[in-house]
A and B are shown apart, each in its own frame.
Chain A
Amino acid sequence: MRMAQTLGVRFSYTEDGAFALDGVSISVERGEFVAVIGRNGSGKSTMARHLNALLRPTAGTVLIEGRDTADDAETWEIRRAAGMVFQNPDNQLVATIVEDDAAFGPENLGVPPEEIRARVDKALADVGMTEHAKSAPHRLSGGQKQRVAIAGVLAMKPDCVILDEPTAMLDPVGREDVMATAERLNRDDGITIILITHDMDEAARAGRVIVMDSGRVVMDAPPREVFSRADELARYGLGVPQAAECAQALRALGFEADPGILGGAELAEAVSKLRGSGSLDADRDNQSDI
């Protein structure tokens, strides 16, 4: 069964206003790592909020593991299955100590005490926060708080974690912390990850990238394909990962660089091959422009 599926979803925040989502149909399989990108107001966060029944479509259907989010009776099972982590780490932690916060979800679900304990311990271990179990959230760094928020979701034993710009307010170390945690959960525990992000380098790490613009899905493909279409992305107000941008600049100068380059390592390899082929010497005049 599909993890999440939206069928022609339209949504408007106001009665008569413009549609924040205007016919979105996507489908996410179990175990996928999907990044959703788009400029501000493209509808990506609105879409995320539909996936755990925080918002309900004006028209169309959202199915989470086959459950319709429009059905009141399914709301809690949907929210358990598709946990959500928000942008601001300060505004989603409820308790004054870390482990109590991780326990908040399962407590709401009515899980027996011994099992909550076991789940909380495992969730904190999964995000590497065991040593801070007794700390107060306001003493932690942004990245640590975000990992606690992820643990709070994991303790509900979700099948899918939706991260709504989880790194937007973090420093580089915190960003890497959160990204590495998400990747590990996806790889080791088979948890489906849906990552809403502004950061193209983060999106490039996903297995699939969905690009949204004006409430519509305009691209839906593996990152290599999406980021090789830089001109099209620019039309939607989006850039490409740094390495891809660099590769593009090399190509513009007449060098051979694969349009599929996304990461620093790939770029380095391509550049080292250039040196081997001697083309750097041949184009010394161009090189000085880089």
Chain B
Amino acid sequence: MLKDITVGQYYPADSPMHRLNPRVKLLASLAFLAAVFIISGVWGYALAVAMTAAVIAASRVPVPYLFRGLRSILFMLLFTVALNVFFTPGDDVVFSLWGLRATASGVAVAARTCVRLTLIIVGSSLLTLTTTSIELTDAIEFSLKPFRPVGVPAHEIAMMMTIALRFIPTLTEELDKIMKAQAARGADFDTGGLIRKAKSFVPVLVPLFVSAFRRADELATAMEARCYRGGVGRTRMRPSRLYRRDYIAIVLAAFAFTAMIAAGRIG
């Protein structure tokens, strides 16, 4: 299960999406997330899904790989769906189960929420799957720059996020190792109620945190040894430049978002 998290991982490939300017990708992703909340109506959603499918195709990330990431939020998705189906008020009862009445409007809300959540997860995964963390840092730093005068540490935030992304696989592996080590000592993670299960994770999380702090300390030393001293005077191996393809992408994205929102108004 832990190996299935694809959010925040980079998928190395050479595709039009990978080559796109990271700043364009980040801003387009943010606009997409906003659009997903604005759209309404079947046509709006259909367009959003079609657009996502097109981007997936352009990214050359294998679809099964991408959707493996969804498995980890399946529970949350089902929970939200169930909640919406059964607890949306209305008189148009479709069916009832154990005395709970499912309303037609409830089913509609559930479907919408389900599609929205999926689009959000897939949309943000696509950003990190096609963008290396250093590119992402640059894009985040760029988008936060306007807020620097009001005290937002743009470079530091960006660096923090990069390192977090870099260490997701490492810590995931470590968590797996600790769980196996504790299981070998007789720990039981699968039985008992919620509280018991949560308690059984204490002997896993404590060593994980201790190790994360130790890693943080070592990494900080290694970064200092490589002359890291914050964002001042830093250059980039790949300076962010806008090419023709980036302008095309901006125009395409603007059209797509407008169409998505407009389609919702009509339908």
Q: Which of B49-57, B186-194, B218-226 contacts A (4 or more CB under 8 A)?
A: B218-226
Does B233 belong to the interface (CB within 8 Å)? yes
For B166, the closest partner residue in chain A by CB is A96
Does B227 belong to the interface (CB within 8 Å)? yes
How many whole Å from A194's CB to the nearest CB in chain B? 14
A113 and B239 form a contact (CB under 8 A): yes
Does A110 belong to the interface (CB within 8 Å)? yes
Chain A residues lying within 8 Å of B239, measured Cβ to Cβ, are 113
B218 and A96 form a contact (CB under 8 A): no
Task: Pick the contact of B170: A80, A111, A138 (CB < 8 A).
Answer: A138
- Complex interface residues of chain A between 105 and 150 (CB less than 8 A to chain B): 105-113, 116-117, 120, 134-138
Does B134 belong to the interface (CB within 8 Å)? yes
Task: Pick the contact of B12: A76, A83, A136, A153 (CB < 8 A).
Answer: A136
How many whole Å from A169's CB to the nearest CB in chain B? 12
* Tier of interface size on chain A: 35 or more
- Complex interface residues of chain B between 229 and 256 (CB less than 8 A to chain A): 229, 233-239
How many whole Å from A130's CB to the nearest CB in chain B? 15
Does B265 belong to the interface (CB within 8 Å)? no
B218 and A91 form a contact (CB under 8 A): yes
| A90-B167 Cα distance, complex, nearest whole Å | 9
Beta-carbon contacts of A80-115 to B below 8 Å, as 1s and 0s? 100110101011111111011001111111111100
A83 and B170 form a contact (CB under 8 A): no
A116 and B226 form a contact (CB under 8 A): no
Chain B residues lying within 8 Å of A106, measured Cβ to Cβ, are 235, 237
B226 and A156 form a contact (CB under 8 A): yes
B218 and A111 form a contact (CB under 8 A): no
B227 and A136 form a contact (CB under 8 A): no
| A276-B145 Cα distance, complex, nearest whole Å | 78
Does B169 belong to the interface (CB within 8 Å)? yes
Beta-carbon contacts of A28-58 to B below 8 Å, as 1s and 0s? 0000000000000000000000001010000
Chain A residues lying within 8 Å of B166, measured Cβ to Cβ, are 93-96, 137
Chain A residues lying within 8 Å of B221, measured Cβ to Cβ, are 54, 86
Does B173 belong to the interface (CB within 8 Å)? yes
How many whole Å from A113's CB to the nearest CB in chain B? 5
Chain A residues lying within 8 Å of B87, measured Cβ to Cβ, are none
- Complex interface residues of chain B between 149 and 193 (CB less than 8 A to chain A): 162-163, 165-166, 169-170, 173
- Complex interface residues of chain B between 207 and 226 (CB less than 8 A to chain A): 215, 218-219, 221-226
Does B133 belong to the interface (CB within 8 Å)? yes
Task: Pick the contact of B236: A96, A107, A134 (CB < 8 A).
Answer: A107
Does A79 belong to the interface (CB within 8 Å)? yes
| A117-B133 Cα distance, complex, nearest whole Å | 18
Chain A residues lying within 8 Å of B224, measured Cβ to Cβ, are 54, 79
Does B125 belong to the interface (CB within 8 Å)? no
Does A166 belong to the interface (CB within 8 Å)? no
Interface of B: prevailing SS: helix
Chain A residues lying within 8 Å of B12, measured Cβ to Cβ, are 97, 134-136
Task: Pick the contact of B225: A84, A88, A95 (CB < 8 A).
Answer: A84
B235 and A152 form a contact (CB under 8 A): no
Chain B residues lying within 8 Å of A112, measured Cβ to Cβ, are 235
Chain B residues lying within 8 Å of A116, measured Cβ to Cβ, are 235-237
How many whole Å from B224's CB to the nearest CB in chain A? 7
| A83-B229 Cα distance, complex, nearest whole Å | 15
| A92-B162 Cα distance, complex, nearest whole Å | 14
- Given A95-B133, A96-B166, A138-B169: A153 and B226 interface contact (C-beta under 8 Å): yes
| A45-B155 Cα distance, complex, nearest whole Å | 32
Chain A residues lying within 8 Å of B226, measured Cβ to Cβ, are 79, 83, 94, 104-105, 108, 152-153, 156
Beta-carbon contacts of A235-279 to B below 8 Å, as 1s and 0s? 000000000000000000000000000000000000000000000
B228 and A108 form a contact (CB under 8 A): yes
Chain A residues lying within 8 Å of B133, measured Cβ to Cβ, are 95-96, 100
| A111-B235 Cα distance, complex, nearest whole Å | 6
- Given A86-B222, A94-B166, A138-B170: A104 and B10 interface contact (C-beta under 8 Å): no
Does B6 belong to the interface (CB within 8 Å)? no
A100 and B228 form a contact (CB under 8 A): no
Does B21 belong to the interface (CB within 8 Å)? no
| A104-B224 Cα distance, complex, nearest whole Å | 11
| A109-B162 Cα distance, complex, nearest whole Å | 19
B218 and A108 form a contact (CB under 8 A): no
- Complex interface residues of chain A between 202 and 225 (CB less than 8 A to chain B): none
Task: Pick the contact of A113: B163, B228, B236 (CB < 8 A).
Answer: B236
| A95-B132 Cα distance, complex, nearest whole Å | 8
A to B CB contacts below 8 Å, 23 in the list? A54-B221, A79-B225, A86-B222, A94-B163, A94-B222, A94-B223, A95-B132, A95-B166, A96-B132, A96-B133, A96-B162, A99-B237, A100-B133, A100-B134, A100-B237, A105-B226, A109-B227, A110-B234, A113-B235, A116-B237, A135-B12, A136-B10, A136-B169
Contacts A97-B12, A156-B227 aside, 8 further interface pairs with beta carbons under 8 A come to: A54-B224, A94-B162, A94-B166, A95-B166, A96-B166, A107-B236, A111-B235, A116-B235
